Amino acid sequence: MKILLDTCTFLWILLDDPKLPSRARELFADPENKVFMSSISAWEIAIKHSLGRLSLPQAPTEYIPTQRKHHQIEALSLDEESALAIDRLPDLHRDPFDRALVAQAITHGLTLLTPDPLVHQYPARCTWA
């Protein structure tokens, strides 16, 4: 399976947060699965950090790539096809970061690992618990 991590899922994995259910942990840890983190999530983390809404042990420019590599998570850039696919999504979610992740999941045939019930309403493959 090819998995795209929601931003909160990426952060919860790094923190070994109890909010992460065992099923999500298993999917992430399964060596048969290829796991991706979107540049959209990196952007969201950087914005929240710069606004003081997200504390990190290092600057995002160091923390994100280091942790991504440590956890063997592949980077996924936002390509034009995914960006334009956002326009075809139903207006279920107001968060532009989540809408971009959904568009990437659909465009690239990825399963989005997210707890967000609104995201699960989109025509993308999603899983959580």
Distance CA 55, CA 40 (A): 18
Region 55-72: mean pLDDT is 97
Tell me the per-residue pLDDT of 16-37, one tens digit each, with 9 for 90 and over.
999 999 999 999 999 999 999 9
Distance CA 118, CA 129 (A): 15
pLDDT, residue 62, reads 98
Tell me the per-residue pLDDT of 48-57, one tens digit each, with 9 for 90 and over.
999 999 999 9
Tell me the per-residue pLDDT of 93-128, one tens digit each, with 9 for 90 and over.
889 999 999 999 999 999 999 999 999 999 999 999
Within the chain, residue ranges assigned H as helices are 7-15, 22-29, 39-50, 60-70, 80-85, 96-108
CATH of the domain at 109: 3.40.50.1010
- Can you give the residue range of the structural domain that contains 101? 2-127
pLDDT, residue 41, reads 98
pLDDT, residue 129, reads 83
Q: Please state the domain count of the chain.
A: 1
Region 32-48: mean pLDDT is 98
pLDDT, residue 65, reads 98
